[in-house]
């Protein structure tokens, strides 16, 4: 399928287009927001509990320490998106490798790798993430690695299923007949043909990664040196009765970001799924 046809089919999904536009706004805010709005999110710049709109120059008010909420929101967007994308990339690296080896070689390799995958799937993701981050120092790097470790099993199972199907196709047998090496067959022939469902799943995992990071930061297990949406909500939980906006603003930001990514995933699924060609 050409890129032009893919885009045309994606455009038929209005919800997907809305999600893409919404995600573009979030991404632009994350990339350019801190450059245009240069206030330090850690600086004490106003009196505490300044409500949104109460004072010119602080459109979203200030928190319990007098820090600018808008500055925190913009810097938090960058942190949340970076962790979401990097964590999903780590999960893809592990999941695709395990699924490809299991689906292509089958036999005892498949059995061993799938038993490992099932073991990881029996552990609740968020609790597993809490344990891993608690063991290691909470930093951006360890959080990304943790998200990758807890998120790869669904990718592995999906890639394995695709490899089991594609391995029996005629084009793969032709590659074997002409003497193409197994690593080359896996990387250049089978893997590109199974990436469509993987891309859809990856878009959903980005949203899950953002939620995991927000949950960890809310519990105080995030990187203490960076501002994130989860940290903003966690810091504001003791002030919920007198300043509910401190939790609501980053909470709505997380809601809209996760919603936009899910809508993009649905749009990609419609565009990449041949069964929906005439819908």
Q: Domains of the chain (ranges plus CATH)?
A: 3-276 (1.10.3720.10)
pLDDT for res 171: 86
Sign of the alpha-carbon torsion through 177, 180, 181, 182: negative
> Which pLDDT value is given to residue 279?
47
Predicted TM-score (pTM) of this structure = 0.86
CA-based nearest residue to 125, from 216, 235, 198, 200: 216
Distance of alpha carbon 95 from alpha carbon 117, whole angstroms: 9
Concatenating the DSSP letter of every residue in 44-112 gives B-S-TTPPTTSSTT-TT-B-TTSBBHHHHHHHHHHHHHHHHHHHHHHHHHHHHHHHHHHHHH-HHHHHH
Q: How many helices (H) and strands (E) does the chain have?
A: 12, 0
Burial 191-229 (b: 16+ CB within 10 A, else e): beebebbbebbbbbbbbbbbbbbbbbbbeebbbeebbbb
pLDDT above 70 coverage of the chain, percent: 96
Q: Which spans in 122-194 are helix H?
A: 125-135, 140-166, 170-177, 182-184, 191-193
In the numeric block, which tokens belong to residue 191?
A: 């893997």
Give dist(CA 40, CA 53) in Å, integer. Answer: 19
At residue 252, does pLDDT exceed 90? yes
How far CA 13 is from CA of 169, 198, 204, 265, in Å, comes to: 32, 20, 17, 11
Mean pLDDT across 124-146: 90
Tokens of 186: 């896996």
Q: Residue 4: is its pLDDT beyond 80? A: no
Tens digits of per-residue pLDDT, 68-110? 999 999 999 999 899 999 999 999 999 999 999 999 988 899 9
44, β-bridge pairs: 67
Q: Which two tokens stand for residue 121?
A: 């799937």
Say what the pLDDT of residue 106 is. Answer: 87
Burial class (CB in 10 A: 0-12, 13-18, 19+), 100: buried
- Whether 180 shows a pLDDT value over 50: the answer reads yes
- Average pLDDT along the chain: 88
**53 Rama sector, left if φ>0, alpha if ψ -120 to 50, beta otherwise:** left
């Amino acid at each position: 399928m050409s890129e032009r046809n893919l885009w045309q089919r994606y455009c038929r999904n209005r919800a997907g287009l809305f999600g893409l536009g919404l995600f573009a706004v979030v991404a632009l805010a994350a990339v350019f927001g801190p450059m245009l709005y240069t206030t330090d999110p850690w600086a004490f710049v106003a009196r505490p509990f300044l409500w949104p709109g109460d004072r010119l120059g602080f459109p979203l008010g200030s928190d319990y320490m007098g820090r600018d909420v808008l500055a925190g929101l913009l810097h938090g967007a960058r942190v949340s998106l970076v962790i979401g994308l990097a964590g999903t990339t780590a999960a893809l690296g592990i999941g695709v490798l395990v699924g490809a080896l299991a689906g292509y070689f089958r036999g005892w390799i498949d059995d061993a790798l799938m038993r490992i995958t099932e073991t990881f799937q029996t552990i609740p993701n968020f609790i597993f993430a809490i344990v891993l981050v608690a063991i290691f120092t909470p930093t951006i790097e360890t959080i990304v690695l943790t998200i990758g470790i807890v998120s790869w099993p669904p990718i592995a199972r999906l890639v394995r299923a695709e490899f089991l199907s594609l391995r029996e196709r005629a084009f793969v047998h032709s590659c074997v007949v002409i003497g193409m090496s197994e690593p080359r067959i896996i990387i250049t022939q089978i893997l590109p043909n199974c990436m469509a469902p993987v891309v859809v799943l990856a878009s959903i995992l980005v949203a899950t990664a953002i939620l995991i990071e927000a949950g960890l930061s809310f519990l105080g297990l995030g990187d203490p040196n960076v501002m994130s949406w989860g940290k903003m909500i966690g810091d504001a939980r003791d002030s919920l009765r007198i300043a509910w906006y401190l939790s609501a603003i980053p909470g709505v930001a997380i809601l809209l970001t996760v919603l936009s990514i899910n809508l993009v995933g649905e749009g990609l699924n419609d565009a990449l799924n041949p069964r929906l060609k005439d819908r």
